[in-house]
Amino acid sequence: MADASPNNGNTEKMVAVLYDELLAIAHRLRRAERDDHTLETSALVHEAFLLLATRHANAWQSREYFLAAAATTMRRVLVSYARARNADKRDARLRTTLVSVPDAFRSGDALDVLVLDDLLDRLTLLDARGAQVLELRVFGGFAVDEIAEILDVSPRTVKRDWRFARAWLVDQLTTVSHE
Amino acid sequence: MSDVEARWRRVREIFDLAADEPSESWPATVAREAGSDEALRAEVLRLLAALQNDSIDIDRVQVDAGERADGRERIGAIVANYRLVRLLGQGGMGAVYEAVRADGAFDHRVAVKLVRASRGGRELAERFRRERQILAALGHRNIARLLDGGTTEDGEPYFVMEYVEGLPITAYADAHRLGLPERLRLFRQVLAAVEHAHGKLIVHRDLKPANVLVAQDGSVKLLDFGVAKLLGAQDGDELNTIAANRPFTPEYASPEQLRDEPVSAASDVYALGVVLFELLSGQRPYDVPSRSPVAVLRAVESDRPLPRVVASAELDSILRKSLRPDVATRYRSVAQFDDDIRRFLAGLPVLAQPDSFAYRTRKFVRRNLALVTAASTVILGLVAAVVLMFMQSRRAAVERTWQSTIATVTALEASGNVQLLYAGLAQSDSSFARANALCQTRPDRARVTPICTKVTLDLGVSAFWHGAMPQADTLMQQAIARARAAPGTSQATIAAMMSSLAQVRDAAGDYVGAERLYREASTLFTEAGANLGPERIGMLGYFAICLERQGRLAEADSLVQIELLYVAAPAAGILLHAAAIHAEENRIDLARAEEQRGEPAARIIIDDTMTLHHVKMAEVVGSLRLRLGDVDGAIAELRGVLGTAERRYPADDPRVAEIQDALGDALVAKHRPAEARPLFETALATFEKRFGAAHPQTVAAKRDLDSVK
């Protein structure tokens, strides 16, 4: 799995810490009564940032570093969730919504998080930064400008990376997987 | 580069090239670039085609947080001998049904709550048995009885409760158009019930209007008492040490609950405060953009004051005291809360006091406690002595002590400790009140007023320095009003104060207000016939920055030019400040230009008069250079100012440490970590000693040191 952090050395440590925290936060958000019954991962990641930033004041090297690690962690949390659910032979309830039109909740429109994880791994081999951009966008819910800041590249580069990674992913989903 | 990588890179290059063009030219572009490589051409074209596939949009990952099962599906099901007949409500926690005995043995209506909880379900029945006695003790006419509980065959926790027909308290009060006294009397029923439960060591933890129903006859029934406890109870669960690991509703949850900290009876007090707030005003105390616990917590802990929603000051105080984020200042018990409402209804004075100045500044003080304590001891002693002597009419002694107060203030100012002095003063409500009282009530107030005005103004400056703009604004307005009321205050003095207030408004983003004040102050200066002294120069420089921030660079620049014609030196600081702003906003060329203009003049001041302000200025110059990429210049500058500061201040003065830290940063940028290290070490020791280990500056210095280890 790819590291989404610009500073790979310490990311493992960070992810280890974040993993539990994110799980706890996810549980916590579930406990709090919600009307929509779904959690957006970006909300989780931002929630984690706010919470951890208050709790560990200056413990993180930078906001960018934290957010990148958080997106990676989020991916791992979701993947392990999905694996556990699949092992239970129950519906994998973690889905990437691929179709943005509202009320498109038919199962055919939802991409299993494990498939996405797998595709991301493959993309990493071909285009590491494109995969990072995709990871930050999809699992972290970050906007172009934020991703540019996190990866320390220009927004234009992010847009181009995103354009390509997205095209590759769509291509993989529409052609390769149906071969 | 491997063949695969090279090929992939080529795919990407052609893709990027073509994708920048309109889709009509894609085939031609790709054909031109791919040449005879047919596979390459096909691959790029396929990827490009995917761009146009807008039926697929990779959006965010959504996690389904739980069964979406519609509660209505369960109607007719049998749970613990009860048939579910009607869905009463559902939320994130689960669904509540009206149910009847399945065997029809007797007509007995109950409410069955099915809880959607993935964990703890299995132990629930066991726990319920264990807790049954406690719950039985909750026999109170205002608390809905919990009849049974356990888990269904599917492992789903359930509770059987007394069925209550009624409206949420807020809806009831509105439907019956209850007036204020009626609403309060209704609310006192709620308090009585909660007090009863607290007496049995049971905290509700999820009080909200939906859990406080009022029956047609006007009697209150509290729902779900004991449910939270059962869902999360652990062995050794005690009233004051309950781990917060169980359901709650963010909008009504106390800050400690939102932080996942231990919950106590005071947490219910807070939730009741929110309910009362809503009952009296129809709105919640905080306007929160999202329901996430952290978002609510941030709103609660922000410095934004609660809106005042009731006409009576006493009732307002009661609401505020029940809603204090800090447990220590909240009503300690529901009984106290209830007592104050009773007093209010009876027209007696209430125990809750309006937010004091001390309370409002406490957040700041708590963050800087160690620093403030020392300073407040000094000032408290002085003010107390003065008040005492006033009371004893020992005028000569008063005069002497005022003199020594002023001397102390001056000495502290000279040593740079003035911030501490005023922070200390601010901490003490009583000393501030006394100082105020002195200003207003003493017969010789003409003597006292200027000192109080100065205290107020400097408190405002202190608040400004610490970023507390609303407080700074209020204090400075007070100071100006006081100065205007005092006979003999010069126009120039008032103008200078207005200039300070303008800076506060500017910093708070109120450019219009700031500009109006700057212009007023300018007029006053002119009327007073004040020449272009440092105060006026300073003001116009800041005015220029205010304009510059609004993008009115031409106006700002002309102001600065005019000032430069008259007095070069003081405006240098302004130029450097403007340069720093340019650099901050990445307008490096402008920053460099400003710096070059301001720097020579600044140099004169920095070298000649090494006051606090100029040490700071030199530090700005150094940091500015570092930001502009002039590492050598930064090092030279910071070394120079460090030498001066070390001669001038004690070795363990925080300002010395700040410069050491900045110089260390510059040395690290120069790849000389070995030289940076001792500087970071000394700075860390100073910060640790002066501010404590948890202070942000200490932590930052520690991080700096760790980075060069």
Nearest to B293 among A28, A81, A174 (CB): A28
Is residue B237 within 8 A of residue B173, CB to CB? The reply is no
**pTM as predicted:** 0.42
Q: Do B61 and A97 touch (CB under 8 A)?
A: yes
Nearest to B19 among A34, A141, A163 (CB): A163
Residues of chain B with Cβ-Cβ distance to A51 below 8 Å are 294
Task: Quote the radius of gyration of chain B (alpha carbons, Å).
Answer: 34
Taking the CA of residue A79 and the nearest CA in chain B, the distance in Å comes to 11
**Beta-bridge partners for B263:** B242
Tell me, what's the pLDDT at B588? 64
Q: Do A37 and B64 touch (CB under 8 A)?
A: yes
Nearest to B68 among A37, A43, A95 (CB): A37
Residues of chain A with Cβ-Cβ distance to B94 below 8 Å are none
Q: Nearest to residue A139, comparing CAs of A87, A72, A46?
A: A72
Is the Cα dihedral B641, B647, B650, B652 positive or negative? positive
Residues of chain B with Cβ-Cβ distance to A112 below 8 Å are none
Q: Do B700 and A41 touch (CB under 8 A)?
A: no
Model confidence band, residue A49 (pLDDT cutoffs 50, 70, 90) = low
> Which among A25, A30, A149 is the top mutation candidate for probing chain B, defined by the most B β-carbons within 10 Å of its own β-carbon?
A30
Q: A64-75, pLDDT tens digit by residue?
A: 666 677 777 767
Tell me, what's the pLDDT at B279? 94
Residues of chain A with Cβ-Cβ distance to B57 below 8 Å are 98-100
Residues of chain A with Cβ-Cβ distance to B692 below 8 Å are none
Q: Do B260 and A164 touch (CB under 8 A)?
A: no
> Which among A7, A10, A36, A37 is the top mutation candidate for probing chain B, defined by the most B β-carbons within 10 Å of its own β-carbon?
A37
Burial class (CB in 10 A: 0-12, 13-18, 19+), B531: exposed
Measured between alpha carbons, how far is B423 from B462 in angstroms, rounded to an integer? 7
Tell me, what's the pLDDT at A135? 84
Region A130-144 average pLDDT: 81
Residues of chain B with Cβ-Cβ distance to A61 below 8 Å are 703
Nearest to B291 among A34, A54, A58 (CB): A34
Q: Do B250 and A32 touch (CB under 8 A)?
A: yes
Closest residue in chain B to residue A82, using alpha carbons only: B63
Q: Do B53 and A29 touch (CB under 8 A)?
A: no
Distance of CA B500 to the CA centre of its chain: 24
Q: Kindly report the number of other CB atoms within 10 A of residue A103's CB atom.
A: 6
Nearest to A167 among B50, B61, B247 (CB): B50
Nearest to A97 among B12, B48, B62 (CB): B62
Is residue B329 within 8 A of residue B321, CB to CB? The reply is yes
Q: Nearest to residue B74, comparing CAs of B154, B145, B144, B147?
A: B154
Is residue B518 within 8 A of residue B549, CB to CB? The reply is no
**Beta-bridge partners for B101:** B82
Q: Do B58 and A127 touch (CB under 8 A)?
A: no
Measured between alpha carbons, how far is B521 from B502 in angstroms, rounded to an integer? 9
What single letter denotes the amino acid at residue B387? V
Taking the CA of residue A126 and the nearest CA in chain B, the distance in Å comes to 7
CA separation, residue B436 to residues A25, B357, B423, B455, B462 (Å): 48, 12, 16, 10, 18
Taking the CA of residue B289 and the nearest CA in chain A, the distance in Å comes to 13
CA separation, residue A109 to residues A97, B278, B679 (Å): 7, 43, 59
Residues of chain B with Cβ-Cβ distance to A32 below 8 Å are 92, 247-250, 291-293
Structure tokens given for B690: 């002066």
Active site residue B326: no
What single letter denotes the amino acid at residue A120? L
* Helices B612-627 & B568-584 angle (0-180, nearest 10): 40
Give the long-range contacts of residues B37-42, CB within 8 A, separation 24 or more: B40/B7, B40/B10, B40/B11, B40/B14
Tell me, what's the pLDDT at B426? 46
Tell me, what's the pLDDT at A34? 39
Q: Which residues of chain B have pLDDT under 50?
A: 60, 62-69, 92, 118-120, 233-245, 355-395, 398, 409, 412-433, 439, 442-443, 466-467, 563-571, 604-614
Measured between alpha carbons, how far is B553 from B541 in angstroms, rounded to an integer? 13
Taking the CA of residue B218 and the nearest CA in chain A, the distance in Å comes to 28
Tell me, what's the pLDDT at B275? 96
Taking the CA of residue A46 and the nearest CA in chain B, the distance in Å comes to 10
Measured between alpha carbons, how far is B154 from B152 in angstroms, rounded to an integer? 5
Model confidence band, residue A82 (pLDDT cutoffs 50, 70, 90) = low
CA separation, residue B495 to residues A3, B366, B547 (Å): 58, 34, 19
Q: Which of B20, B206, B355, B661 is catalytic?
A: B206
Q: Do A33 and B93 touch (CB under 8 A)?
A: yes
Nearest to B56 among A34, A37, A98 (CB): A98
Closest residue in chain A to residue B95, using alpha carbons only: A33
Q: A53-65, pLDDT tens digit by residue?
A: 555 544 445 566 6
Q: Do A167 and B93 touch (CB under 8 A)?
A: no
Measured between alpha carbons, how far is B323 from B306 in angstroms, rounded to an integer? 9
Tell me, what's the pLDDT at A6? 40
In B58-147, which ranges are continuous DSSP H helix? 121-136
Contacts of B61 (CB under 8 A, 6+ apart): A40, A41, A74, A78, A94, A95, A96, A97, A113, A116, A138, A139
Residues of chain A with Cβ-Cβ distance to B243 below 8 Å are none
Say what the ipTM of the complex is.
0.71
Q: Nearest to residue B590, comparing CAs of B544, B561, B557?
A: B557
Taking the CA of residue B137 and the nearest CA in chain A, the distance in Å comes to 28
DSSP 8-state symbol, B263: B
Q: Do B249 and A35 touch (CB under 8 A)?
A: no
What are the helix and strand counts (H, E) for chain B?
30, 10
Percent of chain A whose predicted confidence (pLDDT) is above 90: 5
Taking the CA of residue B364 and the nearest CA in chain A, the distance in Å comes to 16
Chain A to chain B Cβ contacts (< 8 Å): 151
Nearest to B292 among A47, A58, A163 (CB): A47
Q: Do B63 and A93 touch (CB under 8 A)?
A: yes
Q: Do A57 and B298 touch (CB under 8 A)?
A: no
Tell me, what's the pLDDT at B529? 65
Tell me, what's the pLDDT at B687? 81
Taking the CA of residue A2 and the nearest CA in chain B, the distance in Å comes to 17
DSSP 8-state symbol, A175: T
Q: Do A100 and B92 touch (CB under 8 A)?
A: no
Q: B467-494, pLDDT tens digit by residue?
A: 466 777 887 898 888 888 877 778 888 8
Strands B157-162 and B94-101: unpaired
Measured between alpha carbons, how far is B262 from B256 in angstroms, rounded to an integer? 7
Closest residue in chain A to residue B253, using alpha carbons only: A32
Tell me, what's the pLDDT at B679? 94
Region A90-112 average pLDDT: 38
Tell me, what's the pLDDT at B278? 93
Q: Do A42 and B15 touch (CB under 8 A)?
A: no
Model confidence band, residue A32 (pLDDT cutoffs 50, 70, 90) = very low
Taking the CA of residue A124 and the nearest CA in chain B, the distance in Å comes to 12
Nearest to B61 among A57, A113, A164 (CB): A113
Strands B94-101 and B82-90: antiparallel
Closest residue in chain A to residue B290, using alpha carbons only: A43
Q: Nearest to residue A144, comparing CAs of A128, A155, A132, A131?
A: A155
